[in-house]
Amino acid sequence: MNESPHPDFLWRNPEPRRAYDVVIVGGGGHGLATAYYLAKNHGITDVAVLEKGWLAGGNMARNTTIIRSNYLWDESAGIYEHALKLWEGLAEELDYDLLFSQRGVLNLAHSPADVREGMRRVNANLLNGIDAEWLDADEVKKFCPIVNTSPDVRHPVLGATLQRRAGIAKHDRVAWAYARAADRLGVDLIQGCEVTGFDIAGGRVRGVRTNLGRIGAHRVALAAAGHSSVLAARAGIRLPLQSHPLQALVSELLEPVLDCVVMSGAVHVYVSQAHKGELVMGAGIDAYNSYGQRGSFHIIERQMSAALELFPIFARARVLRTWAGIVDVSPDASPIIGLTPVENLFVNAGWGTGGFKATPGSGWVYADTIANGRPHPLAEPFGLDRFTTGALIDEHGAAAVAH
C-alpha cells in the first residue's frame, strides 16, 4: 500500500458554469465512470456531473460489491465481461488502490433445476470465452470449507458454478478514483445540485433546471439509478422501470473465515467477508415500490436464516448495521442504455440489483454512445426499443439471484 498520506481532497468542488457540452445527471459510479471515459477516451472534457446529494452516496455506497461476468446471454456476457476486463487493469489505470480481489464467486445449486441451469450457464460462459467451472458438492466444500454441504438441510448444496476471476472491490474507492481522475481531466463534479427539469425545444434537450439555476447543455445523460423514472418523466418519457428497496447488512468485524463470495439464488442470500473483516450480506428486493431507502425487517430475518443454514459458523455473529438502496428494476432484469425519444438526451438505467460490477463497462459504452450519438455495439441490444420488438435479454432466470 501507498506510504504517503491520503490527500484531504481528491477533487475540486467547483461552482457550476452556465453551460456544458455534456451534463451527466447522477454522481454515482456510473455517472462518474461515464465522465471519466468521455474525457479519457473521447477528449470531451466540457462535462459536468450533477449530483443532488454527495458524490456516490446512493447505491454506489450501499452495494455488496460483488463483481462477476458469468451471465447467461451473449449480450450480457458481452457487456459484463468487458467490464470485468476493465476491472482487471483499473487500479493501475486510475492509480488508486481499489481493493479489487478476484477471490472467486460461487453460485450454489440447491435443486436439480438449479444444477441444470448452473451447468447450462457454465457452458454458455465458456462459449463466450468467460471462465466458468462446475463444482460438485465435495468440490464446493473444498473451495469453501465453511459452507454446510450436509444433505440434511432444507436446501442442500448439490453443486455450484464458480467464476475464479470474479470477486469484490471497495465501492467507495472506486467512486473516489473515478472522481479524482475525471476531475483531473477537467470534469466539474457538482454536489448538492438536483436536476428538477429539462429545457426541451424542438424535440431536443437544451439544458437542465436545477436548484442552483439553469445549466445549458448540448447533451444530457441520465445516470440516476433508482430515480431514473422520476427524471425521465420530467422529460416526458415513461421508462419500463420500477424502483424497489434492496437491503444489505454487515456483521461486526471478525477474524478471516471466508475467502470467496458465496451466492444462493434459491435461498436469497449472498455473502462475502470484506477486507476489514465484516461479513457483508445481501438479500432480495422488497416487493413493493419505494424511494424510502429502507426496507422491511422480515427480508433481513429471512436472509439471516438462509445464511445460517448455509454457514452454521455464523450463528453467533452479530448484525452491526442494515440499510437499503433504491434499485431500478427492469422487466427483464437487464439495463437500459442508449438514446431516448428526446434528441441528445441519453439514458443509462435499469441496472437494478447488479450494476456495481458493470461500473467500468457501463461508463465506457455510455461515454461512447454519448460521444457518437449512437449506441456502442455492446450497448445496442440494451436499447429502449427492445420492449417493443420483444428482443428482451431475460437475465432473471439466468442470474437466479438478485444480481
Ligand X SMILES: Cc1cc2nc3c(=O)[nH]c(=O)nc-3n(C[C@H](O)[C@H](O)[C@H](O)COP(=O)(O)OP(=O)(O)OC[C@H]3O[C@@H](n4cnc5c(N)ncnc54)[C@H](O)[C@@H]3O)c2cc1C
Residues at the interface with other proteins (CB under 8 A) = 227, 229-230, 238-243, 287-292, 296-298, 331, 387-389
Total residues in contact with ligand X, by rule CB under 6 A = 42
Percentages helix, strand, coil for the chain (3-state, rounded to 5) are: 30, 25, 40
Residue 290 touches which member of other proteins, ligand X, none, C-beta under 5-8 Å by kind: other proteins
Measured from the CB atom, the residue of 78 and 354 that comes closer to ligand X is: 354
To 10 degrees, the CA torsion angle through 202, 208, 209, 213?
Answer: -120
How far apart are alpha carbons 239 and 237 in whole angstroms?
6
Residue 180 touches which member of other proteins, ligand X, none, C-beta under 5-8 Å by kind: none
Cβ pair 313, 281 in contact under 8 A: no
By CB under 6 A, tell whether 207 contacts ligand X.
no
By CB under 6 A, tell whether 51 contacts ligand X.
yes
By CB under 6 A, tell whether 167 contacts ligand X.
no
Provide the minimum distance between the beta carbon of 166 and ligand X in the complex, in angstroms, as a whole number: 10
How far apart are alpha carbons 71 and 110 in whole angstroms?
19
Neighbours of 374 (CB within 10 A): 12
The residue from 190, 195, 232, 239 that contacts ligand X (CB under 6 A) is: 195
User: Is residue 351 left, alpha or beta, with left meaning phi > 0 and alpha meaning psi from -120 to 50?
Assistant: alpha
How far apart are alpha carbons 93 and 200 in whole angstroms?
37
How far apart are alpha carbons 164 and 89 in whole angstroms?
16
User: Is residue 99 left, alpha or beta, with left meaning phi > 0 and alpha meaning psi from -120 to 50?
Assistant: left
61-120 positions binding ligand X, by CB under 6 A: 62-66
The residue from 219, 353, 370, 383 that contacts ligand X (CB under 6 A) is: 353
Q: Which position's Cβ is nearest ligand X?
A: 28
CA-nearest of 276, 253, 220 to 49 is 220
Residue 159 touches which member of other proteins, ligand X, none, C-beta under 5-8 Å by kind: none
Q: Which residue has the cell 450436509?
A: 150
Cβ pair 198, 204 in contact under 8 A: no
Residue 163 touches which member of ligand X, other proteins, none, C-beta under 5-8 Å by kind: none
Measured from the CB atom, the residue of 56 and 147 that comes closer to ligand X is: 56
What SS3 class is residue 49?
strand
Query: Interface with ligand X by CB under 6 A: which range of 12-20, 105-113, 128-136, 348-356?
Result: 348-356
The residue from 121, 227, 244, 386 that contacts ligand X (CB under 6 A) is: 227
Q: Which residue has the cell 429502449?
A: 384
The residue from 21, 194, 259, 394 that contacts ligand X (CB under 6 A) is: 194
Task: Point out which residues pair with 349 in neighbouring strands.
Answer: 336
The residue from 100, 346, 351, 382 that contacts ligand X (CB under 6 A) is: 351
259-318 positions binding ligand X, by CB under 6 A: 282
Provide the minimum distance between the beta carbon of 124 and other proteins in the complex, in angstroms, as a whole number: 25
Contact positions vs ligand X (CB under 6 A): 25-31, 50-53, 56-60, 62-66, 194-195, 223-227, 231, 246-248, 282, 325, 327, 351, 353-357, 403
